[in-house]
Structure 1
Amino acid sequence: MNTSKLNPGFKGLTIFLISLILSFEYNYYVNISVFLICLILMLLSKVSIKRLCISFLPVIIMALGVFFTGYFYGNESATTDITDMTKIVVVMESAESGLQLAARILAYAGLGFLFVYTTDPRMFILSLMQQFRLSEKFAYGIMAAYNFIPIVKNEYRNITYAYRARGVKKNLFMLPMLVTAIRSSENIAMAMESKGFQVGAKRSQYRKLETKIIDYILVVLLPLITLYIVRVY
């Protein structure tokens, strides 16, 4: 199933509900299952394997660090008189505690990357505005802030080259970038005003996002399946 073709708003709601269920559950079987399912869905959605490896590398390092921390220090004070049998029990409890924390990190990272790598941010904002009645004032504000990122990036590169050409060693980036941001925001405001933008006015949409039956099914079915797995384990 290619999750890139799902409605972004309903997909975000589904992932949020699953994350909420996992927040009350400490079973590492469930967390590892969710992580593997997210990994399979990203591969089916044609997410680059190289991109996944680079993204999950710090997550895996963090999970291993948490696991060994729980393994060596999780239940250090569980018993005072450690015999051979009690030592085995303490080691097993410590390993399970570390595995639970590490699996939770992997599960949440898998859900987060599944949403980020299979969702267009602009389509997500449009979905929130069309299907979930997000105020246009906030929606267009978020989209304007998102579109500022490449502008700031290009401006930073241009200022860097300008300083190098002039032989300036002390780089004062904040003032020129602040001026650029103010000018860009004024241009956007004038453009929206010239197009007749008004908060609360009835508007047509250049791109209308559709909601399919599969979106409604998944937003109900997947959290129920997660609850069922939690009950079983």
Structure 2
Amino acid sequence: MFNWFTPKRETWLFRVNPALKFIVFFAFLIITLVNQSVPFAISQAVLYGIVFYVFSGYSLKKLSILSIPLVISFLSTGLTMLLFGKGEAVLWQWGLFKISEESIQHALLLGSKSLSFGFVGFTFILTIQPVLFFYAMMQQFRLPSKYAYSFIAAFRLIPAVTEELQIRRNALKVRNIQFSKGIKGLYERLQSYTVPLFAQSIRRAQRIAVAMEAKQYQMGAARTYYYPTRYNGMDRVFLLVMIGSLCSAFLLSVYL
């Protein structure tokens, strides 16, 4: 599953400091959230879509699959606001369904915002390494290590838990375990999977605690880092490109 998120090529976005990238993208999402201009919202969606499809470094097939929930979100929010929104300038009405000029504007606004959120979120997730992101947050933005290392440990445990789940599924299949139908069968499956997984999780947590104690880990103490993260020239290019693109989107929405 994790190989699926391996990029076809590493673009310049991969060389940007992940903590800085998070702050910039978060600021862009805030701008998207508070914006009430339909042309600017559409320009933002186009801008973030270009960044997602051109600079994420993934194949067109993977990007197309990831675009499916974005399209569903756009259609669901847009159509809901289009057919059930309020407005005075009614263009068409049939029963509970009513389309007005105001509802069209609100549909385009919310739909464009949902696309912008999806494009920015996917671009950030696809162009960072989670471990380096938390290391950068600790070093550049002084995130307390007790939170960062907790997230790192949890992320590193995901493949182990996935493997344990697959092993358990194969073991039940080899033993030809048959489950009942309906709610009773669901309960039996939960009982067969959750108890072994919880037991393994407790053992794994105990091993992590022993390892952290052996490394003299103390909450709040100054630490050195195996992966040092710094700002570089690509971060300046990233800031200039993103700010310039946002200004271009705003000017485009004003004049067109």
Coarse TM-score class (shorter-chain normalised):
0.7 to 0.9
Match of 1:102 among 90, 101, 111: 111
Match of 1:131 among 131, 135, 140: 140
* Aligned sequence identity (%): 27
1:111-126 pair list within 5 angstroms: 111-126=120-135
Q: Quick one: structure 1 residues 45 and 73, their matched pair in 2 at CA, closer, same or farther if it must change by over 3 Å?
A: closer
Q: 2:70 touches 2:118 (CA, 8 Å); kept in 1?
A: yes
Q: Quick one: structure 1 residues 95 and 79, their matched pair in 2 at CA, closer, same or farther if it must change by over 3 Å?
A: closer
SS of equivalent residue, structure 1 residue 12: helix
Matched with 1:198 is 218
Q: Please give the alpha-carbon distance, in whole angstroms, between the structure 2 residues aligned to 1:136 and 1:124.
A: 13
Q: Deviations over 1:98-124 (max 9, x none)?
A: 111111111111111110111111111
Q: Quick one: structure 1 residues 227 and 19, their matched pair in 2 at CA, closer, same or farther if it must change by over 3 Å?
A: farther
* Cα distance, 1:41 vs structure 2: 2.3
* Cα distance, 1:141 vs structure 2: 0.8
SS of equivalent residue, structure 1 residue 173: helix
Q: Please give the alpha-carbon distance, in whole angstroms, between the structure 2 residues aligned to 1:97 and 1:122.
A: 39
* Cα distance, 1:71 vs structure 2: 2.5
Matched with 2:16 is 6
Q: Quick one: structure 1 residues 158 and 179, their matched pair in 2 at CA, closer, same or farther if it must change by over 3 Å?
A: same
The amino acid that maps onto 2:197 is M
Unaligned runs of 5+ in 1: 84-89
State the number of aligned residues.
225
Superposition CA RMSD, Å: 2.6
Q: Deviations over 1:176-222 (max 9, x none)?
A: 10011111111111112212222233322111112124435755874
Q: Please give the alpha-carbon distance, in whole angstroms, between the structure 1 residues aligned to 2:89 and 2:149.
A: 59
Q: TM-score, normalised to structure 1's length?
A: 0.85
Match of 1:164 among 143, 151, 173: 173
Q: 2:43 touches 2:250 (CA, 8 Å); kept in 1?
A: no
Q: 1:129 touches 1:136 (CA, 8 Å); kept in 2?
A: yes
1:1-233 pair list within 5 angstroms: 2-42=12-52, 43-75=54-86, 78=88, 91-169=100-178, 170-171=188-189, 172-215=192-235, 218-219=238-239, 222=242, 226=246, 229-230=249-250, 233=254
The amino acid that maps onto 2:16 is L
SS of equivalent residue, structure 1 residue 114: helix
The amino acid that maps onto 1:104 is K
Matched with 2:4 is none
